Amino acid sequence: MFAARLASAVRVLRSAQTTGPQTAAMLGTCTRSQAACSRLQHRRTASDRRGFHTTASMRKSDDFYEVLGVKRDATQAEIKKAYYQLAKKYHPDANKAADAKDKFLKIQEAYDTLSDESKRSSYDQFGTADPNMGGGAGAGFGGFGNMEDILSQMFGGGGPRGGRGGFTAVGEDIEAAVTISFMDAVRGVRTSVTVTPVVKCSPCSGSGARPGAKRHTCKTCGGSGQATFAMGGFHVQQPCPACGGEGSAVRSADRCGSCGGKGRVRERRTEDIDIPPGCDSGMRVRLPGKGDAPIDGDGPSGDLYVQVRVTPSKVFRRKGADVYYDVSVPLHTALLGGAVRVPTVDGDVEVNIKQGVQPGDELRLRGKGIARINARGRGDQYLTLKVRLPETLTPAQRDLIEQFAALSGGGPSHSATAEGEGADHTKPADDDSSSLFGRIKKNLRGHKDS
User: What does each of the 450 residues of the chain score in pLDDT, given as a tens digit?
Assistant: 445 555 555 555 555 444 455 555 555 555 555 555 555 455 444 444 443 333 333 344 468 998 999 998 888 988 988 888 888 888 877 788 888 888 888 888 898 889 888 888 878 877 776 555 444 333 333 333 444 444 444 444 443 333 444 446 788 999 999 999 999 999 999 999 999 999 999 888 888 888 888 788 887 788 777 877 766 666 677 777 777 677 777 777 888 888 888 888 999 999 999 999 999 999 999 999 999 998 877 788 999 999 999 999 999 999 999 999 999 999 889 989 999 999 999 999 999 999 999 999 999 999 999 999 888 899 999 999 999 988 888 999 889 888 888 887 755 544 433 333 333 333 444 444 445 455 555 555 554 454
Pairing of strands 174-180, 304-310: parallel
Amino acid identity for residue 264 in this structure: R
Give the C-alpha distances (Å, rounded to integers) separating 406 from 214, 336, 420. Answer: 103, 19, 12
> What one-character-per-residue DSSP string does 120-143 give?
HHHHHHHSSS-TTTT-GGGT--SS
- The H-assigned helical ranges of 142-207 are 147-154, 182-187
Secondary structure E strands in 129-268: 174-180, 189-195, 198-200, 216-217, 226-231, 234-239, 248-249, 264-266
From 124, 121, 119, select the one nearest 155 (Cα to Cα).
Answer: 119
Contact predicate 264/298, CB 8 Å: no
Whether this prediction's pTM lies above 0.85 is answered by: no
Spatial distance between the Cα atoms of 393 and 93, rounded to a whole number of angstroms: 97
